[in-house]
Chains A and B, each alone.
Chain A
């Protein structure tokens, strides 16, 4: 069945360093890849997404890259700040009309001041 693998499960970086989280999906028909951020005790919120017709997308300090051939996509956070500390989830979808998402297992990012 459809599956999304996310690595690493935990990531600790110093403030100002970059952080990279990687996801691999199994279904080559997947065409939409969002990333959600969940701060402690709060609801997940979309931070960036990419569609399969685009290889890279940036929004200030965050960027997502997609390699369709290898079926993987990555989240890049530059100049990390303590407020970036959270759990990050990647997801993949091929059923655009229903919005069904398959989520990765999550990555807990800790940014040390």
Chain B
């Protein structure tokens, strides 16, 4: 079974803090994705990576950055957290040439 894990299920941070969300997959997948999920807006793509050290902006990259130093790990960074970044963050991975994206359990982030 594909396993995608995220470093935290719940996180509370202060405005202005630097926040790191980590995602790890154990299936040697090339492609990894970060989404945020908000009620009524569905899942929106923040960034994705199609290989190590490669990254591409998604639909809402503002205020976020990413890092992919190793194939199994994809980190989402909030350089200076703001209250409008309070959300559920979902990571996903996919094997190159495969169709299915496998999601992690999500991190619910609250920025105060």
Cβ–Cβ < 8 Å partners of B41 in chain A: 105
Partner pick for A46 among B33, B44, B58, B100, CB 8 A cutoff: B100
Interface of B is mostly: strand
The number of A-B residue pairs with CB atoms under 8 Å apart is 57
* CB contact under 8 A between A43 and B43, given known A98-B56, A99-B94, A100-B58: no
Chain B residue total in the interface (Cβ 8 A): 24
Chain A 91-103 against B: per-residue CB contact (8 Å), 1 yes, 0 no?
Answer: 1000001111111
B interface vs A, CB < 8 Å? 4, 31, 33, 35, 40-45, 48, 50, 56, 58-59, 90, 94, 99-101, 103-106
8 pairs of A and B residues whose beta carbons are closest in the complex: A43-B103, A103-B43, A103-B42, A105-B42, A99-B94, A44-B103, A99-B31, A106-B42
